[in-house]
Amino acid sequence: MTRSPTSRGEVTGRRPKIIAREFLTTGGQRPKLDNLLTSAEQARLATIATLLEYQTGGVAIFSEGEDAHFLYLVDSGIVRISRHLPNGDRPVLGFMWPGDLLGIAEDGRYINSAESLTTAAIFRFPLERLRHLLLSEPLLQLHMLTKVVHELRKAQRQIIVLGQFNNVKRLASFLLDCRQHVELFESLTGRLILPMSRFDIADYLGTSPESVARAFATLERGGFLRRTSPRTVELADPDRLARFVRGFPQG
Amino acid sequence: MTRSPTSRGEVTGRRPKIIAREFLTTGGQRPKLDNLLTSAEQARLATIATLLEYQTGGVAIFSEGEDAHFLYLVDSGIVRISRHLPNGDRPVLGFMWPGDLLGIAEDGRYINSAESLTTAAIFRFPLERLRHLLLSEPLLQLHMLTKVVHELRKAQRQIIVLGQFNNVKRLASFLLDCRQHVELFESLTGRLILPMSRFDIADYLGTSPESVARAFATLERGGFLRRTSPRTVELADPDRLARFVRGFPQG
DNA sequence: CGTGTGATTGAAATGCTTCAATTATCGTGG
DNA sequence: CCACGATAATTGAAGCATTTCAATCACACG
């Protein structure tokens, strides 16, 4: 896979600014939370939550192997989940968006590492207190379970992408995923803002940055998109791109 | 990917024999259940469970797109989870073993298809009643959540295998997974029984049956295993195989 | 004892990775 | 505000790995 340029692993020593015990104040735009949790549930969670503010990308949230004392929930911003391999590679298991859960542990330790990719606000729940809360509020627990199921879906989609698609379709599929997130997509211009480097995309798609660049070039030649800068693309016709991913050669 | 020989998709019309409402009678060997559920919980689940017996491999348990009315839990045997792609391919998302959950739905419909790979006994829970039971028994629900987390872990491991490993390591990693399951592994002889065809393995590893055969040949040349029949192999030195997967060229 | 299916192997073609070189971009300090 | 240096991104070309198509081998089952 890839060599190791600075931007990819660089977990700065910066610590996030801890705001306070404040959870889901009304007013702000909190995409998925309001759909899943009633305000009463939010209030109960608020009693044990801490909101962490990550001022920049590249800050470690937790690391593989650490004792797990917290569960996290993204409020705003984007987080990258990765794992360290003995050979030095660092595959990206997924990108986490507002409303996504992270820090699911196994045997009391974190399995993956998480770093902020952008500025981010993230709720943090002490595991022991969360456990008690979930036991006393079965409906809230059911909503948590729904979130974990959502993570499972994301993972299964990725298994199909990695197992079935070539590099060009992998990238196309990834761009369509990004398009789902309002934070990145200006529907008026069709412009998509990518918050991650080619290295991150490559590590997520199981390929090399060079191959990602070539895949971009291929899609551009095919008239699917236009690169306006390394971090922004204009998707000409997303539906055609989706058809292309589903197997129609020319969309 | 692969063409479509008969053995892979052949979902016979056979229906499973429905045994009765009987759940976790003591005495039988039920590997993972007893670890996760107390006998009181088992008794509560038993009140809504039906045990289905699949007399042979290749029987459909549920299919992608169907209305989801049940959640399933493998009691014995092995189940294959797959998805249909527009181009006719049928990637295998995973193999399910005793203690694994299947039939997790989205928007009321099954996302994947499930077929028995061997004779199998599978518990079936009506979703609506299960929902009520989980709400009234938070601890039981927490155990369910643990199972879903386990599925998430399996999926993430597979993402790494597909994203990082070449065909030989993918197969090696798969064989080591199989070795974990007592049903397949005779520790005395070191013999491993594979309950699935090369086509199934290929669809699981995101490659072709030919490449799986070549990967077997490569591992055999490397002294890692010996093929005693198409469906049985002897792992010479599993620890060495594990080291090989972790990146040491010669183990 | 044939027949059909699964498994294996061979050989050509394709796609991907890797290494190297070049170009573009961004942040910084003059 | 511009120039510079560092880093990211792209492109080219060679070498590998994998796929694909075709042929052969092995085995189970009637």
Q: Is the pLDDT of residue B244 over 60?
A: yes
Nearest residue of chain B to residue A140 (CA atoms): B135
In the prediction, which pLDDT does A33 show? 55
Mean per-residue pLDDT, B2-23: 50
In the prediction, which pLDDT does B188 show? 81
Mean per-residue pLDDT, A192-199: 96
Q: Determine contact: B149 vs chain A, CB below 8 A.
A: yes
B217: CB within 7 A of chain C nucleic strand: yes
pLDDT confidence bin for A37, thresholds 50/70/90: low
Mean per-residue pLDDT, A214-218: 98
Mean per-residue pLDDT, B201-217: 98
In the prediction, which pLDDT does B35 show? 54
Q: What percent of chain A has pLDDT over 90?
A: 75
Q: What is the CA radius of gyration of chain B?
A: 19
Cβ neighbours of residue A185 under 8 Å, at least 6 residues apart? A178, A179, A191, A192, A193
In the prediction, which pLDDT does B37 show? 66
Nearest residue of chain B to residue A135 (CA atoms): B138
In the prediction, which pLDDT does A188 show? 80
Q: Is the pLDDT of residue A43 over 90?
A: no
Contacts of A89 in chain B (CB under 8 A): 164
In Å, what is the separation between the CA of B4 and the C1' of D30?
A: 24
In the prediction, which pLDDT does A162 show? 98
In the prediction, which pLDDT does B75 show? 93
Mean per-residue pLDDT, A105-112: 95
Q: Is the pLDDT of residue B57 over 50?
A: yes
Name the more confident of B35 and A70.
Answer: A70
In the prediction, which pLDDT does A7 show? 43
Contacts of A164 in chain B (CB under 8 A): 1, 85, 89, 91, 206
Nearest residue of chain B to residue A248 (CA atoms): B87
pLDDT confidence bin for B189, thresholds 50/70/90: confident
A:79-138 residues touching chain B, CB 8 A cutoff: 83, 85-87, 89, 91, 93, 104, 106, 111-112, 131, 134-138
pLDDT tens-digit series, residues B150-183:
999 999 999 999 999 999 999 999 999 999 998 8
Q: Determine contact: A46 vs chain B, CB below 8 A.
A: no
In Å, what is the separation between the CA of A116 and the C1' of D28?
A: 57
Q: How far is A189 from chain B (nearest CA, A)?
A: 30
Average pLDDT score over chain A: 87
In the prediction, which pLDDT does B7 show? 42
User: Are the Cβ atoms of A131 and B142 closer than 8 angstroms?
Assistant: yes
Best mutation target among A89, A164, A170, A171 (most B Cβ atoms within 10 Å) is: A164
Mean per-residue pLDDT, A108-124: 96
A230: CB within 7 A of chain C nucleic strand: yes
Q: Is the pLDDT of residue A91 over 60?
A: yes
